Structure 1
């Protein structure tokens, strides 16, 4: 059992897909399959259930993965700590988000203030981000829904309204407030299930007995604003999308729903070592989003950051 085999197992377990794991590891697919087979033979138990070409982590694999995540995480923390002690260079920080547009404005300021820091980004679902944090593959995640797990901790960055965006010339354009009932049967643009915007929309519509007609669902939330501007349908978007530079001409309105808002969290592994570069990034992120809070007005929240575990 060597580190390369354990790393290979970790990546395969995350993807539950041999070819995707091979692509991430930059090795041939047969090599990954052989590595997993050797590891299972050495351990004496199968780590995955196989049905045709599909694989799923089984209970043995899940138990082993928890230990592997911890072991490789400790080694990575040791590498980072020694790099900090040795000095030289600005260090590295790794972050993930559901859409990289959330990080764009933050990175402009951070890179100007810390030009020597190497920043690496990942786009991932909330579930994938939780796994990356537990495996210590990233320092931080910017996420708009709670990440579960006893080893994860979060700081609230931003609390803001979620607004209705409608195309120019739409029958709802120009309204200050819109009732949920007005969206029954309305062409609706949304991310795929599991994304925070979809979770919010499904909850609001189910409670009101409303059924919009979903005309587009995808994995790039950053494209929704442009699709609304193109007249494809209406969408729920955070107030930040309205306030941070609009690429498409749309009309904005509030929904008559008391809990139509989102909270943006900065999440991390509470026991992982944070390099000097990562600590600087975390502090900068809190300060960056502070200006989005302040006196209450459409699209602006008033809640200060607080720790959440």
Structure 2
């Protein structure tokens, strides 16, 4: 026999009041019904939990040992019910939103500022990581939505478990120190082969821009040489300006405007595609669905 909410609630209520009749009235049930609930609790634990003193019930040593566990179980059940209700309330639910580090400077603040002004009761649980790790979190239901780039392989296709909406595209460029031998021609496009022998500063494996760089080198059948791997695009840009190497950077991010760096777009052109990914599911989650629709309705380009 498994104990349910009613049995545990009855036990805790009687433990607090010490009276069956009064507690039954408070719970709006009959006294025999409450007595049966207490009996089921005692049968489950295999011992009596109360001593009788006239019409009053007092917890014995076994009851005192069991009470904190019963209260914890009730609290956990109550919290579970609250969480489910929050998931079903689009105006007071929780959205687990993941995003890449580079999007925390402009895309995520813009979205949250606009959304929360119209839906102030919605709670956001935020997490930053590498693009590849964020996609895995969505797939294993650790996150509801992730803002990533590039587009995960197959995302948005009919047979994929992942949905996808593109929000923005940024041109990709080779970042060169301003005194580099290839920097003098300014924004003239450059072929990857021209910098294949250079030391590269890059993001760590699994990060979005690193995934793009690896793919570009793979297609060109070239092998990069890395001198430093970072978790922040701003650090990559800063080290390029210090002359430590070259890098692949997006051109159209206004919050990534390093001094002492020349950006030459790639030839042939390449882009960094930014978008929203989520796990397709049959069960509705109104807070998540509402926020996802809000994001999908916007094409967010950096200013």
Q: Structure 1 length as normaliser, TM-score?
A: 0.58
From 139, 157, 168, the equivalent of 2:178 is: 168
Tell me the CA shift for residue 276 of structure 1: 4.6
My pick for the range that moved more, 226-235 or 123-132, is 123-132
Residue aligning to 2:67 = none
Please tell me whether the aligned partners of residues 241 and 260 of structure 2 are also in contact (alpha carbons under 8 angstroms).
yes
Please tell me whether the aligned partners of residues 98 and 127 of structure 2 are also in contact (alpha carbons under 8 angstroms).
yes
Distance of 1:232 and 1:105 partners within structure 2: 27
Residue aligning to 2:109 = 108
Please tell me whether the aligned partners of residues 177 and 246 of structure 2 are also in contact (alpha carbons under 8 angstroms).
yes
Please tell me whether the aligned partners of residues 165 and 275 of structure 2 are also in contact (alpha carbons under 8 angstroms).
yes
Tell me the CA shift for residue 185 of structure 1: 1.7
Tell me the CA shift for residue 156 of structure 1: 1.7
Deviations 1:129-186 (A, max 9, x none): 2332233221111122315684221112223321111122222222412122220321
The answer as to 2:262 corresponding to 1:257 is no
The answer as to 2:103 corresponding to 1:120 is no
The Cα RMSD (Å) is 3.3
What is the number of equivalent residue pairs in this alignment?
Answer: 214
Structural mapping, 1:268-307, within 5 Å: 268-271=278-281, 275-291=285-301
Deviations 1:175-228 (A, max 9, x none): 412122220321211123333323332333344354443111233345222222
Residue aligning to 1:92 = 94
Please tell me whether the aligned partners of residues 187 and 234 of structure 1 are also in contact (alpha carbons under 8 angstroms).
yes
> What SS does the corresponding residue of 2:252 show, helix, strand or coil?
helix
Please tell me whether the aligned partners of residues 80 and 275 of structure 1 are also in contact (alpha carbons under 8 angstroms).
no
The answer as to 2:217 corresponding to 1:183 is no
Query: Which segments of 5 or more consecutive residues in structure 2 lack a partner in the other structure?
Result: 1-78
Tell me the CA shift for residue 85 of structure 1: 5.3
Bigger Rg over Cα: 2
From 128, 135, 157, the equivalent of 1:130 is: 135
Distance of 1:230 and 1:112 partners within structure 2: 35
Distance of 1:109 and 1:274 partners within structure 2: 26
- Cα distance change on mapping 1:274 and 1:248 into 2, 3 Å: farther
Q: Structure 2 length as normaliser, TM-score?
A: 0.59
Query: Which segments of 5 or more consecutive residues in structure 1 lack a partner in the other structure?
Result: 1-75, 294-309
